[in-house]
Structure 1
Amino acid sequence: MATPAPLPDVVLITKADCHLCADARDAVGRVTAALGLGWSERSIDDDAELRERFAEEIPVLLVDGVQRDFWRIDEVRLARTLRRALGRPA
């Protein structure tokens, strides 16, 4: 029996008072819910290293530590990326 793929680590990097971040939360929530996955959110307001790295690109989406999108989240691309990470047909 094949070992199931580990669940992808989905992290949305945001900041306060960011309308694109609200849209990104909704998009990530829809896609991950459809695939039965969780996700987390981190704010650059609370993390100087994240602020230094991503200040001009917020919101930023990371999957397994790799930047996959920023500003506007492409739901189709995210779903395809996550299905591949799960070992499912894209």
Structure 2
Amino acid sequence: MTLPGTRVVVLTRQGCHLCDDAIAVIETVCRERDVPWQAVDVDSDPELRAQYTDHVPVTFVDGVQHAQWFLDADRFAAALA
């Protein structure tokens, strides 16, 4: 479930170093632009876990998948412009 007004959603899981890297980029870029974001643990929802398995992190911008596994800060910032 996404919070109202949230432009960025990242699917993550505990112990995932790529997820930690993506969250660091998201925190920085979204803070600079005052863009709301939300992390969702795929293991908290059986459907998400089945759909994304080990293919996390997955980053969505405005409901559209933007990146999987690696998040480029410049490309991400441009998507928020």
TM-score (norm 1): 0.79
Aligned-partner residue type, residue 55 of structure 1: T
Find the residue that maps to 1:73 and give its secondary structure.
coil
1:8, CA displacement in angstroms?
A: 5.9
CA distance in 2, matches of 1:63, 1:35: 14
* Unpaired runs of at least 5, structure 1: 1-6, 84-90
**Count of residue pairs brought into register by the alignment:** 77
Deviation >4 Å, runs of 4+: none
Could you tell which deviates more after superposition, 12-21 or 50-59?
A: 50-59
What are the within-5 Å matches in structure 2 for residues 17-32 of structure 1? Answer: 17-32=15-30
Mark the CA change 1:68 to 1:30 in structure 2 (over 3 Å): closer, same or farther.
Answer: same
1:52, CA displacement in angstroms?
A: 1.8
1:82, CA displacement in angstroms?
A: 0.5
* Unpaired runs of at least 5, structure 2: none
CA distance in 1, matches of 2:27, 2:68: 15
TM-score (norm 2): 0.87
Q: Percent of aligned positions with the same letter in both sequences?
A: 36
Matched residue, 1:79:
77
CA distance in 2, matches of 1:50, 1:16: 14
